Amino acid sequence: MSDLPNLPAGSERVAIGFTAEEAPSGAVLLLVDAATKRRAVARATEPRESFTPGAGAGVDLELWLVPTSGESREEEELLVEALRAELAAAGERDRAAPPPPVVVALQSAYVLWSPGVLVLLSPRERWLALRRAAIDAAFVIGELRAIEEAVEATWPELEADASLAFESSERALPRRDELRARFSRVLALRMRLSRLAPRALLPHVHPPTLASQLAERLRERARLPERLEHLREKLELQFQAVELASQRFSDYALARTGHSLEWVIIVLLAGQTILLLVELLAGYGAA
């Protein structure tokens, strides 16, 4: 990630990795996925003044903590707009079709999210509480985007499977292992999405806190419920296509085995008939 030149003095960068390591290198910030035991780990923390560009190894998210005074809302909004433009430009440099940055404003706090980058602007005394909520929401958004990219990458394979879902043949048998691997990948994506869904659709917290409201707004601005529903539909379609193709393979294999057995029985019966004829002819000859 490139430097963000508009950040004021006193800002800090936290390089975060999401890992399931038993003994991670860095301070554990929070548990982000109980099922896989993945935790957010601070790989490095450095002030804005000594920042050197480059995410580094094992870094999945760059968190920028930006102090604000709350005295000049107009200046803060100008800073947020400048940061939004910088994140959008950085995304265009790094990705072919980047999503627009997500911006959330709530009371005296602002959060900006772009793939791999999270910027939190608030008074310094609120950093700790808001940081946990923002990191957790950023993890969920990032995981959902990763699943979306994996699903989109499988569409060409789905088109190739469309013909196999109708019927199978001898020429398609070499693709059986490939189809088995594809079935496993689609099933794994469905399981991954099922684990993530409760995190994307968290109920509102009562009584609400600034941190809980910030996390809820971030999820809403990222359109998690709608994206989750679209992903479910796409994965259901892909699963059905692969399942139908697998069923056609099984039906063809069973039919081929049945035909082979029929031919074996026919050959055995023909052989037995020939032996009987030979024995009859030999008996007539002896008589």
Complete DSSP assignment for 53-113: S---TT--EEEEEEE--SS-HHHHHHHHHHHHHHHHHHHHHH-SSPPPPEEEEETTEEEEE
Residue 250 lies in a domain: no
Residue 272 lies in a domain: no
* DSSP state for residue 279 in the 8-state scheme: H
pTM of the prediction?
A: 0.76
Angle (deg, nearest 10), helices 210-221 and 127-153: 20
Range of the domain at 125: 12-243
- Band of pLDDT at residue 81, cut at 50, 70 and 90: confident
pLDDT confidence of residue 273: 85
Vertex 47, ends 79 and 40: CA angle to 5°? 95
Residue 255 lies in a domain: no
Residue 161 lies in a domain: yes
Of the chain, the percentage scoring pLDDT greater than 70 comes to: 80
- Average pLDDT for residues 60-76, to the nearest whole number? 82
Write down the mean pLDDT value for the chain.
80
Residue 284 lies in a domain: no
pLDDT digits (tens, 9 = 90+) for 233-274: 998 888 887 777 777 666 666 666 766 777 788 888 888 888
pLDDT confidence of residue 49: 61
- Average pLDDT for residues 23-41, to the nearest whole number? 83
pLDDT confidence of residue 84: 86
Residue 279 lies in a domain: no
Confidence check: pLDDT of 152 > 60: yes
Q: How many domains does the chain have?
A: 1
Cis geometry, peptide bond prior to residue 207 (ω within 30 degrees of 0): yes
Confidence check: pLDDT of 32 > 60: yes
Distance of alpha carbon 9 from alpha carbon 117, whole angstroms: 19
Task: Identify which of 83, 133, 146 has the alpha carbon closest to the alpha carbon of residue 112.
Answer: 83
Residue 119 lies in a domain: yes
